[in-house]
Amino acid sequence: MNIDQLANDFWENGYLVLENFFDEKLMDHLNKLILNQFGMNPEFWHNDEFLSKSQTEVIPWFPQREGVNDFDEVEKDKRLQSLTQKILGEGWQQQYCMVMFSKKGTVGQAWHQDCPPDDPAKFNMNRLVYTMDITEEIGGQTVVVPGTHKKGELIAGDPNAILANQVILNPKKGTLVLLHGHTWHRVLPIKGTYRVSTNYRTGPAGTPEDITDICVYRNMRYRFSTSEVLEERT
């Protein structure tokens, strides 16, 4: 693994895709735990206003906060740690592990940035691990616009419009996707039984712990800790 080249690719495009990164047996084990946690029809986590305005129907679970240590194996992977440090630098900080579950027939996630790009030096990095194949038949593909981590605030407009230069990712089981928190991205609607990914969020040294509390959508800025719309965007 040429981590210098991979880090350069990440900073050029704002994301990085590494297939077959994690062991299939580990992925199957974690996926089983996830399904045992959620079932096929879990209740939504967020309130109706958020679901309607954000057009984001994803249900989170924070397994490590509940003492489920099985997810630690991914986080402790030495290759992942080395690559993370190469990208973020010395003193990078682990934030939290969040499983994201989407039910059949749900809309996925509209275009957004995980944190405001007001200060380019303050951002989170998503380390997305896929414990299942994400195919066109299943839906829920991740869509990114390369280079937009350097473009500032996500442009206002239709939350789910097709954007110029967008790239649709179809991660397979065991794939690792690194994604800059300022990169414009979304998740397509779910057509299969369910869709799941696990996000090991992190950030550079000095990153505020609440860096992802405010999310930027094309139609609003939203603060999760207080469940409020901070700004309507048109």
Confidence of residue 227 (pLDDT cuts 50, 70, 90): confident
**Sign, CA torsion 47/51/53/58:** positive
> Listing from the earlier edge strand, what are the strands of the sheet with 93-103?
15-18, 176-180, 125-129, 194-203, 93-103, 59-61
Confidence of residue 107 (pLDDT cuts 50, 70, 90): confident
**Cβ atoms of 61 and 101 closer than 8 Å:** yes
- pTM beyond 0.85: yes
Output the domain CATH number for residue 142.
2.60.120.620
pLDDT at site 60: 87
Query: Per-residue pLDDT averaged across 14-37, rounded?
Result: 97
Nearest to 10 by CA among 94, 70, 84: 84
d(C-alpha 112, C-alpha 38), whole Å = 25
Nearest to 213 by CA among 196, 199, 230: 230
Domain count, the chain: 1
Give me the domain span that covers residue 170. Answer: 3-232
Q: Which helix (H) or strand (E) holds 25?
A: helix 24-38
pLDDT at site 80: 97
Q: What is the pLDDT of residues 44-93, one digit of tens each?
A: 555 565 555 555 678 889 999 999 999 999 999 999 999 999 999 999 99
